[in-house]
Structure 1
Amino acid sequence: MKVLTLGPAGTYSHRAASAVADDEDIEFTESVTAIVESIAEGAYDRGVVPVENSIEGSVTESMDAFAEHDVAVVKEIITPIRHALLAQGEDFDTVASHAQALAQCRGYLEEHYPDAELEAVASTARGVQRAREDPAVAGIGHPANADNGQSLEVLAEDIQDRSSNATRFLVVAPVSERSEAGSKTSFIVYPSEDRPGLLLEMLEPFADRDINLTRVESRPSGERLGDYVFHIDIAAGLYEERTQEALSDVEDITADGWVRRLGSYDSETVLY
């Protein structure tokens, strides 16, 4: 099974992907959009993409990619995030990491390194790579990326601002593998109109059938100002009659737009 995720090796996405395939079957890119597009085109069997962090919220690039490319969601992976400060020594003036990791450690950095320049890079592993190449740079990433102290020291561990910090990843597959089995379902709704009470109408079919909405979020459609796509997750499977009925109602309400059923899936929590 060929799996594509965010790289280089050592990212949290890589660790999540390790729950799907062996390391020799995992390849890397530095774009979430490229992952989803590659799966839609059939170039890989699976893609692992971050979609939500408990501190910083949704990964908007993932949401936009799901709206642009038709894929199936087949699994959810929850990974607690442990950030460490990694450097060749104490003397550095720049901290490099993914923008979300920098934000998740904002309090620690402001308290201990208020004068350090913060450099946003493509991934936590890329920041660690910068630290490995330049003694004036520290990286933020998983403590295991220190390589047993051979090139980098772990200056501090668990520097994230909240101990509950966790990231949600979705495993995507070609549309042909979309399933109705699972305890959760994700779908996207594009109403193609804007009128008072529309969102309420779209959500009432789930409340009427006692279906819990676990996430409702809007993103610009890109078509025109004020036009939105809605990403919705529910705690119910597509195999359930109540889910099918609710989605049928939503499709009637948004007849001028579209509803994309990404699929049903189960969740796994992975500790590293």
Structure 2
Amino acid sequence: MQAITLGPEGTYSHRAARAVADEVTFTESVTDIVATVASGEVDRGVVPIENSIEGSVTESLDALAEHDVAVVLEIVTPIRHALLAQNEGFERVASHAQALAQCRTYLEANYPDVTQEAVASTARGVQMARDDPTVAGIGHPDNGGDGLQVLAEDIQDRTSNATRFVVVAPADERSDAGGKSSFVVYPSANYPGLLLELLEPFADRDINLSRVESRPSGERLGDYVFHIDVQAGLYEQRTQDALADIEALAEEGWVRRLGSYDTRHVLY
């Protein structure tokens, strides 16, 4: 099976993708990953969806709202950040914006005068550090070697740092089986009590909501798309009944069932 994920080789996304595919190709855009899977060009895409420190990856949420794909698996992996450079004389730290944010306290305490540069992925920053002695990267400590020193390990602000990835597949592979389900809801409306009305069908049926997040729809100011994760499968009657209520509320908009799936914990 082939998967596409954020590259270049050595990203945390690459590590997650190896848990589901023998052949992994790369791009530097989450939107490209989801669009490529939606077109049927590859079997699977692996995208980061949420970090325990910095929260949701908004580009991933927007891509899932824009393209019709299925979520078939959730991968949760701990994140271990290391500072990698050719020597201590670096002037810039380059990494993904989320990685920089996750190591904010360490960088401010130890390198307050060093410039921080957000790049497409942690692996891209590591490659820059390998090519340029004035640049340090942030990435997994296994990326050291070949002239690149691990100057410090476990520099993330919290030891509990973990990232949740979702594995996306073409829409026709959507499943009703699994312990969790995800939906995207666009009610095309805005009035007092709307969000409460969207959540009550789940509460009334004792369905636990594990995440609710709004993103701008792009249609007009103050208009939102809602991303909802629940700890219940689409195969369950209570979930079907709740969604029927949601679809009635969103009759002027739409509801996308991303599917039901299980969680896999991957340790590195």
- For the superposition of Structure 1 and Structure 2, which TM-score range results when normalised by the shorter chain? over 0.9
Counterpart position of 1:214: 210
Deviation at 1:117, TM superposition (A): 0.5
Q: Deviations over 1:93-133 (max 9, x none)?
A: 11110010000000000011010000111000000000000
CA distance in 2 between counterparts of 1:58 and 1:187 reads 15
**Matched AA of 1:19:** A
1:176 corresponding residue in structure 2: 172
Between the aligned partners of 2:74 and 2:108, the Cα distance in structure 1 is: 33
TM superposition score normalised by structure 1: 0.98
Q: Which residue of 2 aligns with 1:116?
A: 114
Q: Do residues 196 (structure 1) and 227 (structure 2) align?
A: no
Distance in 1 (CA, whole Å) between partners of 2:64 and 2:21 is: 22
Question: Could you say which residue in structure 1 is the equivalent of 2:219?
Answer: 223
Is residue 17 of structure 1 aligned with residue 17 of structure 2?
yes
Q: CA deviation at 1:202?
A: 0.8
The answer for unaligned runs of 5 or more in structure 2 is none
**Partner letter of residue 16 of structure 2?**
A
Count of residue correspondences: 268
- Residue by residue over 1:58-114, the C-alpha shift from the partner in whole angstroms, topping out at 9 and shown as x without a partner, is 000000001110000000000100000000111111111001000000000001101
Give the whole-Å Cα distance in 1 for the aligned partners of 2:194 and 2:89. Answer: 56
Give SS of 1:35's match.
helix
Determine the C-alpha separation between the residues in 1 that align with 2:102 and 2:60.
19
Give structure 1 regions of 4+ aligned residues with deviation exceeding 4 angstroms: none
**Any stretches of 5+ residues in structure 1 without a counterpart?**
none
**Superposition CA RMSD, Å:** 0.5
Q: Matched residues in 2 for 1:218 and 1:238: separation?
A: 22
CA–CA separation in structure 1 for the residues paired with 2:195 and 2:94: 40
* Superposition map of 1:253-268 within 5 A: 253-268=249-264
Distance 1:198 1:179 in 2: 28
Cα shift readout 1:145-174 (whole Å, capped 9, x = no counterpart): 01xx33101000000000000000000000
TM-score (norm 2): 0.99
Indicate whether 1:127 and 2:104 are aligned: no
Letter in 2 for 1:104: Q
Partner SS, residue 85 of structure 1 = strand
Does 2:143 align with 1:161?
no
1:1-272 equivalent positions in 2, closer than 5 A? 1-22=1-22, 25-146=23-144, 149-272=145-268
Q: CA deviation at 1:253?
A: 1.2
C-alpha distance in 1, partners of 2:146/2:200? 57
Alignment partner of 2:175: what SS? Answer: coil
